[in-house]
Structure 1
Amino acid sequence: MTPTPTGRWTPTPTGGDVVVTRTFRAPIEDVWASVTESDRTARWFGPWKGEGRPGGTIQYQMIQEEGAPWSEATIEVCEAPTRLALNSPGAHLELLLSTVDGGTELRLVHHLPNADAVGDYGPGWEFYLDALVASRDGTPMPDFNDYYPSMRDYFTALAPAQG
C-alpha cells in the first residue's frame, strides 16, 4: 500500500503547525470517544492512564513505536466533544473536531517551534490517523513502513528551510 500524504504546514508567529485531517461518517461524540477513551485509543494509538481533566497529567503508551514507550502529557484543554489540547516534552498537540456534512472532521494540529522536524512528525501523524480510521472501520492496520521515510520529503518540502 502506498498512502498519499494529506497534511499541511501552516506558519505561525511562534513556529508552525503540522495539520493532518480525517473525516468520519460518524457522530462527533463517537469520534470524540475514539480519541479520548483509553480502551478506544488503545486500538490505534495506545492506552492512557491518569487524570483525564484539564490541568491533569496522563501517561500514554505509543504502541506503534519501537519498544512501545510510555510518555507523560498535561491536558491543557478538554472541551468535549470539540477540542483536546495536550502538552508533553516535544509535543504540543490539539485535536479539533467539528460536524461536517452529517459526519465529523478531526484535525490534528502539532504545534512546532520551527520546521526542522516537520519531515519526521508529518508521516507519523498520517500513519496514526490512518490507524484510527482502520480501528473504526475494522480494516487492517496500516504499516508504518509505508509512511516513513516515503512521506518525509513531502512534509519537508512544505516548510521553509530554517535559517
Structure 2
Amino acid sequence: MTDITDWLDRTSREVGRRPTPEGQARVLLLRRHCPAPVPEVWDACTEPDHLKRWFRPVTGDLRLGGSFHFDDRTGGEILRCEPPNLLGVTWGYGKEASSEVILRLAPGEGDTTALELEHGPLPDEVSVNGSTVDPVVQDAPAGAFGLGARWEMVLHFLERYLRGEPTEDPAQWEASAAGQEFGRRGADAWRSVVAGA
C-alpha cells in the first residue's frame, strides 16, 4: 500500500488539449523521474533486448519511418527519433485508428531522468462492452483500466527494471491483488484529473 501511495504521489498527471490541423486534440500527459541516467532509460525504451525484459517483445523495422509490433496486435510507425531524448510513434490496436505516443527524456537531478509520456489524440468517450466510458479513466467494471492507469503500470514496470528488480510476468502482476489495487488507485487519480480539467 505504501509503495502505491508513493508512486501516486511522485507522478504528475494532466489531461489537456493540443492544437492539430483538425482542431484541438485531447491528450494525456504523465511525468515521472526514473532512477537512471537518460542513456539507460533511452536504451530500456528503444532496444528490443531491453523492452522484452520489462514490457513486451517487439518486432519490426525499428528505425525512423519503420513500423513495429508487440505481441498483442499493438503497433505503429516510428515518426520521430532523436536519441536519447525524443521518440514519437503512432499507437494503434489491430486496424483501429492510431493515436500518437511521444516519449521525452531529459536529465533530472543527480543520476535520474525526467520522463514525460504524451498520448493523444484521445476521444472524450468510447463504447466498451455496451457502456460509454472515458478512455483515460475507464474502470475495471467496464472491462479494463483506462489509458492513464495502464501507462502508469507500464512506467511502473520500467522503473522496476531500471532498479534491477524487473517484474517477471507483467500480465500476471496486473491480474494480482496488488496489480488490481494499483490500477484502481491509478484510475481514481486520473478520474480526479479529468474532473478538474
Smaller-chain TM-score bracket: 0.7 to 0.9
The residue identity in structure 2 corresponding to 1:3 is I
2:43 equivalent to 1:33: yes
Choose which of 16, 23, 26 in structure 2 pairs with 1:10.
16
| Unpaired segments ≥5 residues, structure 2 | 93-97, 125-133, 138-145, 168-172
Larger radius of gyration: 2
Alignment match, 1:95? 103
Residue 42 of structure 1 and its aligned partner are, at CA, apart by 1.1
Superposition pairs of residues 9-158 of structure 1, within 5 angstroms: 9-13=15-19, 14-61=24-71, 69-89=72-92, 90-102=98-110, 103-115=112-124, 116-119=134-137, 120-139=146-165, 141=167, 143=174, 144-158=179-193
Where does structure 1 differ by over 4 angstroms across 4 or more consecutive aligned residues? none
The Cα shift of 1:160 comes to 5.1
The aligned amino acid for 2:16 is T
Displacement, 1:83? 0.5
CA distance in 2, matches of 1:26, 1:160: 33
Distance 1:150 1:56 in 2: 36
Q: Is the 8 A contact 1:124 1:147 kept in 2?
A: no
Higher helix share: 2
The residue identity in structure 2 corresponding to 1:122 is G
Evaluate the alpha carbon distance shift between residue 24 and residue 148 of structure 1 in structure 2; reply closer, same or farther with a 3 A threshold: closer
Aligned partners of 1:37, 1:135: CA distance in 2, in Å?
A: 13
Conserved? CA contact 1:28–1:104, under 8 Å:
yes
Q: Deviations over 1:29-48 (max 9, x none)?
A: 11100000011111221121
- Between stretches 7-16 and 86-95, larger displacement belongs to 7-16
- How much identity, in percent, do the aligned residues show? 27
CA distance in 2: counterparts of 1:138 and 1:36, whole angstroms: 18
Bigger shift: residues 82-91 or 93-102? 82-91
2: CA distance, partners of 1:139 / 1:78: 28
Q: CA deviation at 1:82?
A: 0.5
Alignment partner of 1:118: what SS?
coil
AA at the equivalent of 1:107: E
Which deviates the most, 14-23 or 51-60? Answer: 14-23
Distance 1:117 1:127 in 2: 15
Cα-to-partner distance string for 1:93-128 (whole Å, 9 max, x where unaligned): 011001122321111111133343111101011111
Deviation at 1:27, TM superposition (A): 2.2
Given the superposition, is the C-alpha separation of residues 82 and 140 from structure 1 closer, same or farther in structure 2, using an over 3 Å criterion?
closer
In the alignment, the residues of structure 2 paired with residue 151 and residue 100 of structure 1 have an alpha-carbon distance, to the nearest angstrom, of 24
**Could you tell me whether the CA contact under 8 Å between 1:48 and 1:59 is conserved in 2?**
yes
Cα distance change of structure 1 residues 30 and 75 upon mapping to structure 2, 3 Å threshold:
same
Q: 5+ unaligned residues in a row in structure 1: which ranges?
A: 62-68
> Taking structure 1 as reference, are residues 70 and 107 closer, same or farther at Cα in structure 2, changes over 3 Å only?
same
